[in-house]
Amino acid sequence: MIHSRNRRLRVNESMRSLVRESILTTDDFVMPIFVMEGENKEEAIPSMPGIFRRSIDLTVKECKELFSLGVKAVNLYMKVSDHLKDNTGKEAWNKDGLMQSTIKAIKDAVPAMIVMPDVALDPYSIYGHDGIIENGKVVNDATNDALARMSVSHAEAGADIVAPSDMMDGRVLSIREALEDSGFTDVGILSYSAKYASSFYGPFRSALDSAPKDNMEIPKDKKTYQMDFHNSREALNEVFKDIEEGADIIMIKPGLPYLDIVSKVREAIDLPIAVYNVSGEYAMVKAAAQNGWVDNDKTIIESLTCFKRAGADMIFTYFAKEAAILLNK
């Protein structure tokens, strides 16, 4: 005779919901947003169906709609004009730049929206790298100085949290000290602590034209600073160092292929964990759904719930708006 029958707790939806371990809500989402120059402009991103680059005015309109759906945080990325790019990244801390103007516009229109600007030099670099190039290499400490200036300019514009995604060593400390010295003690740091050199970033780089340029004199990829995808223990090393330097939230990127890292970090730390459901993951689901190979809505909700099950507290996802609509139903 069987005394223990696990199926007793699966007999119907009411019972399943009663014992459910991981609950997905709109409070879990951060929506990445691409911004471009101009007014009343919107450009579709072919590799990311349903995602657009928008001018500031339309970005503000989108943020209002997101907030009404329960999505209370956005992550900002700029499509920078080529004539503004150089090897210093100085446009990144222009007080009247596209990023700074976007932050101000969103906070003026939706004050309660949490605004998290991306902190990295690749959109501003003529080389497409996250740092400054010297003698054919991405240099660390000079890049940190630039990232700190960039972060302070974001705080001055009204950012709630800065999100360094560059993977330079020691940049969290440089940013934390710069924010403290400038009086921005309440501005948080969401650090991309375990960001892997991944093939899943392709559509994102197309959206921003931020891939490393084909130049024999510079690294052809980002493997000298982003993590080797073969490694797991290294992620904990990166996470612990960023916490010591003053990070408030830890990011793991990419998402679905790296749930083991999310789970391992969750067991090791008490800080909030963010995970990035990246552009390649988004594109694969959309392509499969458009071909009728998977159910779009069910796959979205299942995928996002997996992040919560693994231990994430928040999910950066291009599905945020779509998932919010589904959950609100």
Is 238 within any annotated ligand binding site? yes
Q: Would you state the structure tokens that stand for residue 326, as one six-digit string?
A: 């589904």
Q: At what angle do helices 141-157 and 171-181 cross, to 10 degrees?
A: 40
Q: Are 126 and 88 in contact (CB under 8 A)?
A: no
Distances (CA, A) of 159 to 112, 170, 188, 226, 272: 11, 21, 9, 25, 19
Pick the catalytic residue from 85, 104, 222, 253.
253
Pick the catalytic residue from 85, 107, 195, 286.
195
| CA nearest to 79, candidates 95, 98, 93, 61 | 98
Containing 74, the helix (H) or strand (E) segment is strand 73-78
Phi/psi at 152 (5° precision)? -60, -40
Q: In sequence order, which residues have a C-beta less than 8 Å from that of residue 145 and are 6 or more positions away?
A: 174
Q: Are 323 and 36 in contact (CB under 8 A)?
A: no
Q: Check if 195 is active-site.
A: yes
Q: Would you state the structure tokens that stand for residue 137, as one six-digit string?
A: 């290499």
Q: On the CB side of 36, how many CA atoms lie within 13 Å of its CA?
A: 15
Q: What's the residue count for the chain?
A: 329
Q: Check if 308 is active-site.
A: no
Q: Would you state the structure tokens that stand for residue 159, as one six-digit string?
A: 């950012």
Gap between the terminal Cα atoms of the chain: 43
| CA nearest to 193, candidates 173, 165, 160 | 165
Cis amide bond preceding 254, omega within 30: yes
Q: Which residues are catalytic?
A: 195, 253
Binding residue positions for Mg(2+):
238
Output the known binding site: 238
